[in-house]
Amino acid sequence: MTIKRLRKEQGLTQKALAKRTGVTREYIARLELGRHDPMFSTLVKLAKALNVNVRELLE
């Protein structure tokens, strides 16, 4: 996933992205490390917070 790249491009911290999506910073870290597969609803929240479509998160 490209969550980390997109987050950094937008100058967001894990904490800021977590706040925007309503998940914990630890959860964002696990996603970025590939240690957890998010549910579709979480992907939608991440996409909205990062101003991208869900497809971009899966590339």
Instruction: Tell me how far apart the alpha carbons of residues 24 and 28 are, in angstroms, rounded to a whole number.
Output: 7
Which one-letter DSSP state was computed for residue 12?
Answer: -
Structural domain that includes position 15: 3-58
CB atoms within 10 A of CB 37: 10
Q: What are the pLDDT digits (tens) for 1-58?
A: 599 999 999 999 999 999 999 999 999 999 999 999 999 999 999 999 999 999 998 8
Domains of the chain: total: 1
Q: What is the CATH number of the domain that holds 31?
A: 1.10.260.40
Six token digits for residue 1: 């996933």
pTM of the model: 0.89
